[in-house]
Amino acid sequence: MKKPFVTKAQIEEIVKKYPTPFHIYDEKGIIENAKAVYDAFSWNKGFREYFAVKANPNPVLLDILRSVGCGFDCSSMTELMLSSAVGASGEEIMFSSNDTPAEEFVYADKINAIINLDDFTHIEFLEKTIGKIPETISCRYNPGGVFQMSNGIMDNPGDAKYGMTKDQLIEGFKILKEKGAKRFGIHAFLASNTVTNEYYPQLAGQLFELAVELKEKTGAHITFINLSGGVGIPYKPDQKGNDIAEIGKGVHEQYDKILVPAGMDDVAIYTEMGRFMMAPYGALVTKAIHEKHIYKEYIGVDACAVNLMRPAMYGAYHHITVLGKENAPLDHVYDVTGSLCENNDKFAIERSLPEIEKGDYLFIHDTGAHGYSMGYNYNGKLKSAELLLKQDGSVELIRRAETPKDYFATLDCLSVSAKLNKIIDEEK
């Protein structure tokens, strides 16, 4: 069973200062996991994990990861700005975007981030935009078709909008080299949220063979290979999680088998694991505030899809623990719902749980990645606070909850803004 990293007693103390709902993160778990990743790839001198900022763009959490050696994978201007704000620069930042606006390439170049080109046409676009081709450059690869492993088809790269074909990559490397590029990287993302130790080693084998071919056909000096993300977590309690040590070992075997004999034993390995790095170390804590008995049994909570949209958007499973009832029998079946005017605003459907009473606190697991960051403001709902459970047991506010004033802030160009501010002041 999944075990919460906070107790009911801790939450009862926390809510005296910070009311539910809120996301809370486990500093100790984040650091220990990041160190395990670095241990798994310690055989590679140039290894670096570039945390996918889109998974959780909180600067306090980014700073924690940077303290153990992580860089940042960015895909937008604001993600680049956040990374820069916590002190990252140069090759600590990988800029992997698509349909990229010119001003974002300009800013990425300004802070000397590694630019990872998604499309062949972006070579010319980048040169015209920033007036040069950087000496260090990366290109994203899409092999097409489907990606298969021993347990079947994992994903369909051929249907994805990302990356270049092999022929485009070969031609692109030649052009980039002619235009002054000296250090090259390869990047690929072929499957999402894999819960198998096979994924990275199999992907690595494909990319290592591609790197050897690119070196032979273009003469490019390939200095890094970025395996991107895709290493997932076991959202369901009966799933077996990935073993990062075994994954690192498998990549090492492919490295020694393919790159070393080709004289490419100086190639650095990069990863971009947002979900694996952060998801298990975050949770959404929400309170049961209503119950409803019609054709089904419903528990209404004070969170909604604004706080965690994965279940509504994907039908994704997030395990739920009723704090204080961890060992109680799962003898009630509920839909756990939020308050949006959408019937898919449900954190669980027909889920076996202990009997839930109004006032109980629900700990929704694995929201550390793609939880808060995917939030929105439908129905005028406001995004919740984010808290950090520190290693010493104290709790720190790392993002305050939104207020109505935040929600209406972008209406300051209209005369109605003054009326809204007056209403807000009257309700305080």
**Residues of 188-218 as b/e, b for ≥16 C-beta within 10 angstroms?**
bbbbebbbbbbbbbbbbbbbbebbbebbeeb
Question: What are the Cα distances from residue 364, in Å, to 241, 317, 326, 348, 379?
Answer: 18, 10, 13, 10, 22
Q: Are 70 and 101 in contact (CB under 8 A)?
A: no
Q: Cis omega before residue 21 (within 30°)?
A: yes
The DSSP symbol for 257 reads: I
DSSP string, 199-252: HHHHHHHHHHHHHHHHHHHH---EEEEE--S-B----STTSPPP-HHHHHHHHH
Pairing of strands 152-155, 147-149: antiparallel
List Cα–Cα distances, 246 to 33, 43, 128, 250, 411, in angstroms.
14, 13, 44, 6, 52
Catalytic residue among 74, 139, 304, 341: 341
- What element of type H or E holds 378? none
Q: How far is CA 221 from CA 51, 97, 139, 262, in A?
A: 25, 23, 13, 12
Token pair listed for 217: 């056909």
Q: Kindly give, in sequence order, each residue whose CB lies less than 8 Å from that of residue 216, ignoring residues fewer than 6 positions away.
A: none
Measure the CA–CA gap between 31 and 18, rounded to whole angstroms.
Answer: 24
Token digits for 287? 């309170």
Residue 264: closest CA among 305, 310, 216: 216
Instruction: Count the helix, strand and coil residues of the chain and give each as a percent rounded to the nearest 5.
Output: 35, 25, 40
Annotated catalytic residue 70: no
Q: Residues with catalytic annotation?
A: 341
